[in-house]
């Protein structure tokens, strides 16, 4: 991996980009709470960052199998730079509104769809198959370290200085990332005729040819729907229930990410010791216990500990799913298959966020606001534990074959 210059350039670009992610993604929900205290509108702001996954992940996957993948990365970076510049100006001139924040969040989300999809798709192009876990683990480590540890902590500090400073820093970091993307050279993996590349092949591969992959997609969609319902109300939990400052919010997220970092650095060992079935069942069960219990405690240190453990198993779940899919998918289908999976997983994120905000608004007249804010976590815990037990039964009927399919390897038909 050390001699692989292309992967090193990609990794460095991810480092800069995700550091910017961290400062921006903590600043946007914090800014929304300065503009309104309505839980539903705050959830809509959070959803605006992720709804592009629902709208564009399929088309992005198709593009990644049709055109130059490096070009898609370039477009994503400069779309986000432009949006961040406009947002910074709106904040400095005190003309920002909740509607304008939603629009800017949507455009930033579009850029993330392009960048994250591209980075994930090119990884199997530039590393060997036996290095996939290691490469994916390194990228996840980079994302977590820079975004959730350094980024969130820096974002919390910068908010205390001025709410526009995180967006300015993100802009500068993206400019640096673009320099390393420029140096990166990708192999020519697009061999199909442009007009023959069809989106339906991605759906066929998942829902017709690989029933196990279809089951994992369905389960993953439900998991992210419920998990994202807690993300949209997290800022309310932090501000109103735990009564933390913006900096303490950043530290809480940063501390929880230490668990994710531990997982991303031990995933190869974990996967060698436990079967894929075991990794998936155990990770979902522990996530349910930990994130569900967050809805029961007031002590910020206990909550931080629960986040730490739960975050460890989020990474086990994600990398196990990703590496399995990358192994069994022909390279000329990686973009489309990845796009379909992101549509049914990340695409459900905005729906989950709106669900979380709506649940709080709906329950508030019947129970206290504090317990209404806690309700998404409690619901998550009950369903995750139930799903993990159901998976034990379902996985008995499937064999986890991890060899790459050759049916689509030579043509796009």
Q: What is the pTM of this model?
A: 0.66
Element (H, E) at 259: helix 246-273
Q: Is residue 234 part of a domain?
A: yes
Q: Does 411 map to a domain? A: no
| Average pLDDT of span 271-299 | 87
Is residue 46 situated within a structural domain? Answer: yes
- Judged against a pLDDT cut of 60, whether residue 385 lies above it is answered with yes
111 contact partners, CB below 8 Å, separation of at least 6? 76, 77, 79, 80, 83
Q: 194 in a domain, yes or no?
A: no
Distance CA 75, CA 187 (A): 19
Structural domain including 56 reads 5-182+199-397
What is the C-alpha separation between 375 and 289, in angstroms, rounded? 14
Can you give the pLDDT at residue 210?
A: 79
Our count of domains for the chain comes to 1
Residue bearing the bigger pLDDT, 225 or 57: 225
Q: In this predicted model, what pLDDT tens digit does every residue of 37-70 receive, in sequence order?
A: 887 888 888 888 888 887 887 778 777 777 777 7
Burial string for 93-111 (b: 16+ CB within 10 Å, else e) reads eeebebeebbebbbbbbbb
CATH of the domain at 15: 1.20.1250.20
The answer to whether residue 29 sits within a structural domain is yes
Residue 219, domain member (yes or no):
yes
DSSP for 284-331, written as a single string: HHHHHHHHHHTTT---HHHHHHHHHHHHHHHHHHHHHHHHHHHHHS-G
Query: Whole-number mean pLDDT of the chain?
Result: 81
Two structure tokens written together for 72: 């898609």
Higher-pLDDT residue of 64 and 393 is 393
């Amino acid at each position: 991996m050390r001699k692989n210059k292309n992967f090193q350039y990609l990794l460095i670009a991810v480092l800069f980009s995700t550091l910017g992610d961290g400062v921006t993604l903590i600043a946007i929900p914090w800014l929304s709470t300065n503009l309104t205290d309505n839980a539903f509108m705050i959830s809509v702001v959070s959803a605006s960052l992720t709804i592009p996954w629902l709208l564009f992940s399929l088309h992005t996957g198709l593009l990644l199998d049709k055109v130059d993948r490096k070009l898609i990365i370039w477009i994503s970076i400069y779309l986000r730079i432009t949006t961040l510049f406009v947002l910074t100006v709106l904040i400095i001139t005190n003309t920002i509104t909740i509607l304008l924040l939603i629009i800017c969040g949507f455009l930033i989300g579009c850029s993330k769809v392009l960048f994250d999809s591209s980075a994930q798709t090119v990884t199997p192009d530039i590393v060997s198959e036996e290095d996939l876990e290691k490469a994916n683990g390194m990228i996840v480590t980079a994302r977590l370290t820079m975004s959730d540890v350094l980024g969130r902590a820096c974002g919390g500090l910068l908010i205390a200085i001025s709410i526009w400073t995180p967006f300015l820093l993100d802009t500068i970091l993206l400019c640096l990332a673009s320099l390393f993307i420029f140096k990166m050279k990708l192999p020519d993996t697009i061999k199909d005729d442009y007009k023959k590349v069809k989106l339906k092949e991605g759906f066929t591969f998942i829902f017709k040819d690989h029933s196990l992959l279809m089951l994992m997609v369905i389960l993953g969609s439900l998991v992210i729907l419920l998990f994202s319902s807690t993300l949209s109300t997290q800022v309310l939990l932090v501000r109103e229930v735990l009564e933390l400052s913006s900096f303490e919010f950043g530290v809480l997220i940063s501390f929880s990410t230490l668990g994710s970092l531990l997982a991303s650095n031990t995933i190869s060992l974990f996967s060698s010791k436990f079967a894929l079935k075991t990794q998936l069942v155990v990770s979902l069960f522990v996530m349910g216990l930990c994130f569900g219990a967050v809805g029961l405690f007031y002590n910020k240190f206990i909550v931080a500990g629960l986040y730490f453990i739960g975050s460890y198993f989020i990474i086990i779940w994600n990398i196990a799913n990703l590496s399995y899919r990358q192994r069994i998918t022909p390279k000329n289908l990686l973009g489309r298959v990845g796009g379909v999976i992101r549509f049914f997983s990340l695409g459900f994120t905005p729906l989950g966020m709106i669900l979380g905000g709506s649940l709080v608004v709906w329950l508030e007249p019947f129970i206290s606001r504090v317990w209404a804010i806690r309700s998404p976590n409690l619901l998550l815990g009950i369903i995750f534990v139930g799903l993990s037990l159901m998976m034990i039964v379902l996985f008995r009927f499937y064999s986890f074959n991890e060899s790459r399919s050759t049916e689509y390897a030579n043509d796009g038909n």
